[in-house]
Amino acid sequence: MNTVRKHIDEIPPMSEERAEELKSMSDEDIDYSDIPPLDEEFFKKAKLVQRKPKTAQISIRIDTEVLEWFRNHATEKGYQTLINDVLRTYVTHH
């Protein structure tokens, strides 16, 4: 199996027509024939691949309530990583 890597800028946006088509599709209509089942042997050999993005240190003013929300909702990652992930998701979808 070959891995194909693409930068986010190389992936064309999904058309509204295709998005509607996927939303209307039932689970039974999805073709999984080219995806092998994930058994115990797969997970024994699996390795976590984490992205290593370039980051920049900045100073930013955030509402106290917003900052507290992120601090309270951050789990194993820090609240700054959570803020970055939320911003990245927003940018990806707009």
State the pLDDT at residue 35.
87
- Residue 6 in any domain: the answer is no
40 backbone φψ class: left, alpha, beta (φ>0; ψ -120 to 50): alpha
Tokens of 67: 């900052």
- Residue 86 in any domain: the answer is yes
- Residue 2 in any domain: the answer is no
Q: Are 85 and 75 in contact (CB under 8 A)?
A: no
- Residue 67 in any domain: the answer is yes
State the pLDDT at residue 5.
84
- Residue 1 in any domain: the answer is no
* pTM score above 0.85: no
Number of folded domains that form the chain: 1
Residues of the chain scoring pLDDT < 50: none
Which range marks the domain in which residue 28 is found?
Answer: 15-93
- Residue 5 in any domain: the answer is no
